[in-house]
A = this chain, B = another copy of it.
Amino acid sequence: MENKKIIKRSVDFAKWYTSIISEANLIEYGLVKGTMIFKPYSWSIWTNIQDILNSYFKEMGIENCSMPLFIPYSEFLKEAKHIEGFAPELFKVTEIGEKRIEDPYVIRPTSEIMFCHYFSKNILSYNDLPLILNQWSNVFRVEKNTRPFLRNSEFFWQEQHGIFSNEKEALDFTKKMINLYKKFIEEYLCIPVLMGKKTEYERFAGADETFTVEAIMQDGQALQCGTSHYLNQNFSKKFNIKFQNKSNQFEYGYQNSAGVSTRLIGAIIMSHSDDNGLVLPPKIAPVQIKINSLFADKSIEVKNFCKELSTNLSQKFNVKIDDTDKSIGFKLSEGEVSGIPIQINIGPKDLENGSLALVYRHDRSKEILNIKDVDINFIEKKLDLISKELYKKAKENLDKRIVEVSTLADFNENISLGNFVSAFWSGTEEDEKKLKETTGASSRCISDETKQGVCFFTGKKTNLKVFFARAY
């Protein structure tokens, strides 16, 4: 049973995206422009992401904490580059009750300043280092054109902030974080990414280096999935964060910061979903298995068997029983729109035949199996296979879109085709700005390749190779 409310990708990819979001019950809009209500289904995807990352954070010695939402505007003016980067995007509290306040409160666009304040008060000597913290929170940025999960005035993220006693440790940890993001996004979200440094122009305001993981969506637009910044002493100098080093001298700390956000949910949708609805990677799916019972109201055997199967599989997976009196077609299509990896249909006939019909979301295939074969072990293997197949399909999309170009004409053509263009680059920040304005393409990350070539834009020799694409 096809869901007519879902727009076809080929007709209008943007409309398809928003139709998936509403049909799969992910989002309801808030009352203020650019704000969203996370319905239980999307919030549960986000909390699954949190749980997985938290387990890695624990292994890495990252401790969770919580910073205040309000930051005095005056504090923002301390880090020039930082404020430059954020000024136009700030929400400001200027009234308390009916009273106006002198120094407005900025609603955090990020908590760099608060972490710096914290570090300055909690670090005395090298014994206190490294101090590696993280916060899961809502952050706020004014957005002209908002889009669920991708651009919202309020969104959720994790921001990890670490302070170290030397450059190497800080830089190593910066890389450790971007590698964790790559692993997480590829293994758990089944989305292949390109990993690399940002160009100076695309770098985070206040960072010496920004590392990024970039994915390509089904429409050929890139999506930045996570970033890790090496801040060196830029913030510690501005916020006077000193520690006494082993030779008893006061030294400014070396910092990093890194984060991923609810944008990841947008990446999941645009990487895997199809014209029939959402497709969720098994490892973060709120419901991994939906048991559609048929005539459960009439057949006590069916009702009991569903309960039994659910109890058994629930030991390891998120299982949901649908024993409403809706038609089987309706039940299947609900499960399909919601992107549930595996649906199992169970009716009186199936029990007679001792067989079950399994329906797989990722390739819409169907399989009839003996009841006894459908156990935890089978489901586990199947879900792993589904993850691999989702990744493989997304990887094919990425690979076929990576195109090397050497002329501006080729560049323009491939960008408009929705490709991930790799090219030698020796342009200035000005050039990059101009290129973005004229072609809509931005540099996503620097390639590891080191051989020399000629910049397609300036014609100069260079050994810098950069990936460009239109991006969300």
Interface residues of A (CB under 8 A from B): 28, 30-32, 35-40, 43-44, 46-47, 63-72, 75, 87-97, 104-105, 107, 113-114, 117-118, 121-122, 133, 138, 140, 142, 153-154, 156
Contact = CB atoms under 8 A, between A and B. Distances in A.
A57 to B, nearest CB: 11
A140 B93 CA distance: 12
Contacts of A97: 87-90, 142
Nearest to A75: B31
A32 B105 contact: yes
B37 A70 contact: no
A70 B35 contact: yes
A171 to B, nearest CB: 24
A67 B31 CA distance: 10
Given A91-B93, A104-B95, A142-B96, A154 B40 contact: no
A67 B36 CA distance: 7
A296 B232 CA distance: 35
Contacts of A104: 95
Given A28-B122, A88-B97, A68 B114 contact: no
A89 B97 CA distance: 6
Top 7 A-B pairs, shortest CB-CB distance:
A35-B68, A30-B68, A40-B63, A38-B66, A32-B70, A92-B95, A88-B97
A64 B220 CA distance: 34
20 contacts: A28-B118, A30-B67, A30-B68, A30-B117, A31-B75, A31-B114, A32-B70, A32-B72, A32-B105, A35-B68, A35-B70, A36-B68, A37-B68, A39-B65, A40-B64, A40-B65, A68-B154, A69-B69, A91-B93, A94-B94
A38 B118 CA distance: 10
A72 B33 CA distance: 10
A66 B30 contact: no
Given A31-B72, A118-B28, A65 B37 contact: yes
Nearest to A88: B97
B37 A154 contact: no
A39 B134 CA distance: 11
A38 B97 CA distance: 26
A117 to B, nearest CB: 6
Contacts of A71: 31-32
Greatest chain B CB density within 10 A among A47, A75, A105 is at: A105
Nearest to A73: B95
